[in-house]
Amino acid sequence: MHYTCSVRGVCSRTVSFDLDENNIVSNVEFLGGCHGNLQGIALLADGRSAEELIDLLEGVRCGFKATSCPDQFANALRNTLEEKALLELK
């Protein structure tokens, strides 16, 4: 399934990605931000589990900011997994 999430406190505006039934991430795209860096993150994320990416990226900071695009991506993945779990309970 395809997801698009807003991000906060960073140069990018959204992150979108596909998440399969096994929580494997693919087709990551950021809107806005540092294109080369975000393109690299997207390529490195492809084929990894959402859980692994959360563990790797959560807490990464950009300069003096309290967050970063990788951290916001981790937040988006965590929120998506939580929403997905709630839907499965219904």
pLDDT single digits (tens) 10-49: 999 999 999 999 999 999 999 999 999 999 999 999 999 9
* pLDDT, tens digit (0-9, with 9 covering 90-100), for 58-74: 999 999 999 999 999 99
| pLDDT value of position 11 | 94
Phi first, then psi, for residue 38 (nearest 5°) are -70, -30
| Cα gap 29→23, rounded to integer Å | 17
Judged against a pLDDT cut of 80, whether residue 90 lies above it is answered with no
The pTM of the full predicted model, rounded to 2 decimals, is: 0.95
